Amino acid sequence: MIYDRDIETLTRDDMGQLQIERLQATLNRVYTNVAFYHEAFDRAKVDIEQVRTLDDIRRLPFTTREDLRASYPYGMFAVPLRDIVRMHATSGTTGKPIVTGYTRNDITLWSVLIARQLAAVDITEHDVVQVSFNYGLFTGGLGFHYGAERIGASVIPASAAGGQVREQNLIMKDYKATVLAAMPSYGLAMANLLDDMGIRPDELVVRCGVFGGEPWSEALRGLLQEKLHIKAYDSYGVAELLGPGVAGECTEQKGLHVHDDHFIVEVIDPRSHEPVAPGATGELVFTTITKEGCPLVRYRTGDLASLVDGPCRCGRRLTRISRVSGRTDNQIFFGGARFFPSQVQEVLLAVEGIEPDYELVLAREGGAETLEVKVAISEGVPFDEVRKLVQYKTAVAEQLHKRLGITARVTFVEAASLRGRGAGKTGAVVDKR
For the chain, the first-to-last Cα distance in angstroms comes to 51
CA-nearest of 224, 167, 183 to 201 is 224
Judge if 338 and 284 occupy the same domain. no
For residues 277-295, average pLDDT: 97
What pLDDT does 371 receive?
Answer: 95
Judge if 198 and 280 occupy the same domain. yes
Query: Taking all residues of the chain, what is their mean pLDDT, rounded to a whole number?
Result: 92
What pLDDT does 356 receive?
Answer: 84
**Final residue of a structural domain among 268, 294, 329:** 329
Judge if 363 and 244 occupy the same domain. no
What pLDDT does 353 receive?
Answer: 84
Are the CB atoms for 113 and 268 separated by under 8 Å? no
**Final residue of a structural domain among 298, 329, 360:** 329
Q: Return the CATH number at 391.
A: 3.30.300.30
Higher confidence at residue 250 or residue 422?
Answer: 250
Identify the weakest region by mean pLDDT among 60-64, 93-97, 277-281. 93-97
What pLDDT does 367 receive?
Answer: 65
Judge if 259 and 339 occupy the same domain. no
**Confidence band for 425, pLDDT divided at 50, 70 and 90:** low
Tell me what percent of the residues of the chain surpass a pLDDT of 70. 95
- Number of domains into which the chain is organized: 2
**Structure pTM?**
0.84
Judge if 253 and 371 occupy the same domain. no
Judge if 100 and 147 occupy the same domain. yes
Q: Return the CATH number at 54.
A: 3.40.50.12780
Judge if 192 and 337 occupy the same domain. no
Judge if 342 and 361 occupy the same domain. yes
pLDDT in tens, 381-413: 666 677 788 888 999 999 999 989 899 999 998
Question: What domain range is 173 assigned to?
Answer: 1-329
pLDDT in tens, 343-365: 898 899 888 888 888 999 998 88
**Final residue of a structural domain among 329, 347, 378:** 329
Judge if 339 and 421 occupy the same domain. yes
Judge if 276 and 191 occupy the same domain. yes
Q: What is the DSSP string of 112-143?
A: HHHHHHHHHTT--TT-EEEE-SPPSSSSHHHH
Instruction: Kindly provide the b/e burial profile for residues 298-317, where b requires at least 16 CB atoms within 10 angstroms of the residue's own CB.
Output: bbbbbbbbbbbeeebebebb
Judge if 257 and 401 occupy the same domain. no
- DSSP β-bridge partners for residue 129: 155, 179
Judge if 216 and 241 occupy the same domain. yes
